[in-house]
Amino acid sequence: MIRRLVLDVLKPHKPSVVDLSLALSNIDGIEGVNVIIYEIDQQVENAKVIIAGGSIDFEVIKKKLEEMGATIHSVDEVAAGKRIIEEVRTPQDRSARI
């Protein structure tokens, strides 16, 4: 079961991020939704959508976003299983110094 999804989403200005967040949060299995706008164009907005819950159905999320005129650019993170494992920094994550 999916517990967290982080999506890069392209959405029109309407519906608002408030309406989009509420629509997603009303889907069964979802406990919380964060929508962060990181770029605004004349016609669209780019958003990071973070969804958390006990049992997230990716296809239902995708369908709801499409109904609201949004498209998924990429799936940037998926957490699945009995619990969410938080990311841990490792030596490979350090930037190379020149």
Contacts 24+ apart (CB under 8 A), 21-28: 23/64, 23/68, 24/49, 24/51, 24/61, 24/64, 24/65, 27/57, 27/60, 27/61, 27/64, 28/55, 28/57, 28/60
User: Across the chain, what does the average pLDDT equal?
Assistant: 92
Give 46-70 pLDDT, tens digit per residue: 999 999 999 999 999 999 999 999 9
CA distance 10 to 46: 5
Tokens 């958390």 found at: 52
Cα 72 to Cα 30: distance, rounded to the nearest angstrom:
18
Number of domains making up the chain: 1
Asked if the structure places residue 96 within a domain, the reply is no
CATH no. for residue 8? 3.30.70.1340
Domain residues for 16?
2-80
In-domain check, residue 89: no
Specify if 88 maps to a domain.
no
- Give the model confidence (pLDDT) of 9-31 as tens digits: 999 999 999 999 999 999 999 99
Indicate whether 86 belongs to any domain.
Answer: no
